[in-house]
């Protein structure tokens, strides 16, 4: 299981950001999908309108499909009053052991052991705390009703920030979190260095 998967993204992190940054002229990007291939991953940045109740919400997203070897999935959501109320009624809230981080985020996962391994990284936790626009970070098994279906064993790392974000500094912070998590998924043996064969 081990060395084949180790650091299958870290050597490409900076190059992916340089290409994205080159495509985003500060304040001028219109939100259309930007895709950068970094085999076996393709990182997609876009602005998306989601239906929310009777209205809609605009979000900025980073996404990348990957081969998920162990089926590990998680969701991290910035804590709010509604989420606190939900946790009172039995909704899962895994703690990592970092009080500031645990206060800021609600964590759900299908493996407490693996999610603690994932976030056993002080730099990653620091980056997430410093990224105020970050709202949701998760592994998804598909793109929902209107997106592509994924083959068996393929999932998507998904990061969401509230609103249309076009300034390079904020996008770089969001990408820093996203790329760090993708690297960690490789390091813990969850993401595999093989083309997922999915177009997002």
Is residue 125 very low, low, confident or very high in pLDDT (cuts 50, 70, 90)? very high
Please report where in the chains the tokens 């009080």 appear, as a residue.
99
Query: Does the pLDDT of residue 159 top 50, yes or no?
Result: yes
Residue 8 neighbours by CB under 8 Å, 6+ apart: 40, 186, 191, 192, 193
Q: Is the pLDDT of residue 142 over 80?
A: no
Report pLDDT digits (tens) over 61-94. 999 999 998 999 999 999 875 555 455 444 678 9
Q: Which residues contact 54 (CB under 8 A, 6 or more apart)?
A: none
- Reported pTM: 0.86
3-state secondary structure of 187: helix
Q: Where are the domains of the chain?
A: 3-192
């Amino acid at each position: 299981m081990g060395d084949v998967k180790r650091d299958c993204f870290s050597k490409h992190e900076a190059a992916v950001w340089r290409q994205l940054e080159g495509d985003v002229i500060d304040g001028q990007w219109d939100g259309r999908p930007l895709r950068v291939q970094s085999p076996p991953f393709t990182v997609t940045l876009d602005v998306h309108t989601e239906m929310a109740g009777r209205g809609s919400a605009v979000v900025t997203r980073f996404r990348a499909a990957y081969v998920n070897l162990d089926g590990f999935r998680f969701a991290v959501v910035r804590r709010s009053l509604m989420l606190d109320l939900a946790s009172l009624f039995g909704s899962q809230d895994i703690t990592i052991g970092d009080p500031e981080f645990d206060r800021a985020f609600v964590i759900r996962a299908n493996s407490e052991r693996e999610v603690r391994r994932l976030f056993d990284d002080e730099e990653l936790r620091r980056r997430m705390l410093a990224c105020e626009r970050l709202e949701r970070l998760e592994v998804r098994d598909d793109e929902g009703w209107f997106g592509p279906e994924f083959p068996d064993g393929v999932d998507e790392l998904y990061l969401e920030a509230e609103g249309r974000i076009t300034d390079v500094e904020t996008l770089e912070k969001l990408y820093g979190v996203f790329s760090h998590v993708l690297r960690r998924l490789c390091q813990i043996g969850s993401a595999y260095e093989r083309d997922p064969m999915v177009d997002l």
